[in-house]
Structure 1
């Protein structure tokens, strides 16, 4: 019998456990950042790094090591202290020790060999022929200590990891506050005033007391000026938004005070919420989401973590490994005859949203086309050891280690357990 799904998971659209019959071992993660380590998986040859600047090799490539800050805020910190604007291929969590590549958008001959901030260290690796792009990222490798488990023998779990669905983790939605997809929904529905209100004042029962109190002061627009004076520096997004509102800007202009990479996450989080509900519904109906069926849209695999072209699955003619794909909500979404498209169509109708609404004419930079995401988590090289219980594994880009860990731990309270 599967345990009850925690309320906070349901709020993120995760409505079930994913076909594993492995009993949860309890315990927690991320009680200290050093127990959760992440490093990027990149084909080094595809980077084409030269140790020296010159010729076509004009773009500096750094190894960014950080702790105690997420990737977006790490980049803000570096730009603020060193006046250097960098880009990364993927967003890494704050509660972890992480290693990833970072590069500039323009050529820079005098790039220093090392830069440091409070939370980061940048080490120059060399120079590339073109700016760093997300397509170079294959996936991520994890090494995670599970603290205080009820038992430290998890033999058999490795045989079930391929059944796990590729849910977006709670981090995608703002963790205990769980607000990003709600802001995204308001933007898609063109209710920009509601998006502002949610960003400033929305809380959940999982939020901290101090956060709830601070956001209570943002309920009344007449109190914005005083709230801005009292708001902690750590609530930087809210401060940027409040500053714009206090200056008399309308909701759309105020939202644009938030950095573009953060704003885009809102609509993308709403897409993630619909994806989670779609896959949950499929599992609830008894579907095997890890194995393709006649008529499914599937990725044709071109490498361990290389999801190739999308093709309709036909078992009689397919000689390439195929992985079921879910068509994401977006302005190009068209319902087909595959298992997942009809479910997504029904969910959009429940949400009162049409595919075309993801083209946001008033804020075109936030429009989302759609695309595809694999239905199973697609974990590789899973290993574990005792003393302390440590799990190591590799996932494709965009997949969440916490999605695997929730199946292993099955926490009653994900927030307290570090999720």
Structure 2
């Protein structure tokens, strides 16, 4: 199953026809510019660089920079991962002593420009990202159709805030399924899926297919290409310990958490889609909903309050003025649960999945997830768009951190 088939289960909010087309035909069609927190420039222990990359994922770029500079990749900080099939601009921090070495690096499709001294940049140290996206292979009606969809969603309060396909895998849509197996304590089948699932379209698929069929670890270590480094780490650790649990715990923390985060994201998407399907409002709070505060278009997901019979009119007035947003659950052991009809829907989804939130607590400590809340709708800030003859539609907009441009475009394109 590819990502288009996977995403077809999630409902569109808009009912107008889409423009179709294709994104990311060329890396230059998808430009991402990070807006960092100003606080990254406080301090002197780290050198802050603006990293421009093309056809690199963030982790691979960071590891290559670290290797060439003779430092550990753990000493390089960044605020968020960026698309591979794109041209992206983001800020990284390196130890101040490595400034000159990094400044003099020459790596294909990577540019590094020293900005200032500052602090170590951690995940989340950003306000959001600016996007410029070209949608190709559309006809001359694309502008009017875009206008119709965007106008309809403006009335409905925004775009569904689905997690994008990058969260789950483009060719191998398995990250959330691995996460579900880990939550059930089934490390063996989680490993089998992570190592053996194959699409038939990717390098290394033959080796994955052999492992799926045989479970032969020694053969896999001979056949898995070196670029599948996390898979090889898992295999080596299993050979050493005989434990798939210990093998998973040997992975770098961000990789280990990808699977749990993907499953949380899947459940959130399911909640948004089910709410649309059942005719429950996304832009109006119901009694029992949990609402997040919004300031100047940026949601503050750690500032939440429950909707009651007493405050519902006040809350919905805040929502209408863009100062609050209805939220959905990122399930975890400490997630603030909704009540009323929204709470019933949350419970229904957990029951269908055969889970309780306590499962997130029983994970090995590095994987344990407290959970949180996420706004159901997002309003792209400063959205402009236009048709470029012989090229396609060009969209420009800003999104807060953690929001996917591909999910905004999905509503406009109706391609999956």
Q: TM over 0.5, yes or no? A: yes
- In structure 2, the partner of 1:52 is none
Question: Does residue 256 of structure 2 align to residue 263 of structure 1?
Answer: yes
The answer to whether the 8 A contact 2:161-2:375 is kept is: yes
Q: 2:243 aligns with which of 247, 250, 253?
A: 250
Question: What is the distance in 2 between the residues matched to 1:25 and 1:132?
Answer: 39
Q: Contact 2:162–2:269 at 8 Å: present in 1 too?
A: yes
- 2:107 is matched with 117
Correspondences of 1:321-336 after superposition (within 5 Å): 321-333=323-335, 335-336=337-338
| Matched residue, 1:236 | 229
Residue by residue, what CA displacement relative to the aligned partner does 1:310-337 show, whole Å, maximum 9, x if unpaired?
Answer: 1124244346421111122101135431
User: Structure 2 CA distance, aligned partners of 1:377 and 1:109?
Assistant: 41
Q: 1:350 aligns with which of 349, 352, 358?
A: 352
Instruction: Select the residue among 60, 80, 87 that pairs with 2:67.
Output: 80
Equivalent pairs counted in the alignment come to: 393
The residue number in structure 2 matching 1:381 is 382
8 Å contact from structure 2 (residues 233, 250) kept in 1: yes
Q: Does residue 108 of structure 1 match 2:101?
A: no
CA–CA distance in structure 1, aligned partners of residues 9 and 128 of structure 2: 23
Given the superposition, is the C-alpha separation of residues 370 and 166 from structure 1 closer, same or farther in structure 2, using an over 3 Å criterion? same
CA RMSD of aligned residues (A): 2.4
CA offsets 1:218-248 (integer angstroms, 9 cap, x no match): 1255633233223233322222222333445
> Structure 2: which 5+ runs fail to align?
none
Structure 2 counterpart of 1:3: none
2:314 paired with 1:317: yes
Residue 12 of structure 1 contacts residue 273 of structure 1 at CA under 8 Å; is this kept in 2?
A: no
CA distance in 2, matches of 1:256, 1:117: 32
CA distance in 2, matches of 1:36, 1:244: 38
Query: Aligned in 2, Cα 1:304/1:336: closer, same or farther, shift over 3 Å?
Result: closer
Pick closer, same or farther for the CA change 1:369–1:116 going to 2, 3 Å. farther
So what's the TM-score if we normalise by structure 1? Answer: 0.86
**In 2, Cα distance between equivalents of 1:220 and 1:343:** 39
C-alpha contact (below 8 Å) 2:286/2:342 kept by paired residues: no
Please list every run of 5 or more consecutive structure 1 residues that lacks an aligned counterpart in the other structure. Answer: 1-5, 50-55, 415-419
Do the aligned partners of residues 167 and 249 (structure 1) sit closer, same or farther apart at CA in structure 2, a change above 3 Å counting?
A: same
Change (3 A) 1:234 1:147: farther
CA shift, 1:351, in A, is: 1.1
- Report 1:94-173 matches (<5 A): 94-104=84-94, 108-112=96-100, 114=103, 115-128=105-118, 130-151=119-140, 152-153=142-143, 154-161=146-153, 162-173=157-168
CA distance in 1 between partners of 2:260 and 2:106 (Å): 33
Instruction: Name 2:367's counterpart in structure 1.
Output: 366
Which has more helix, going by share of residues? 2
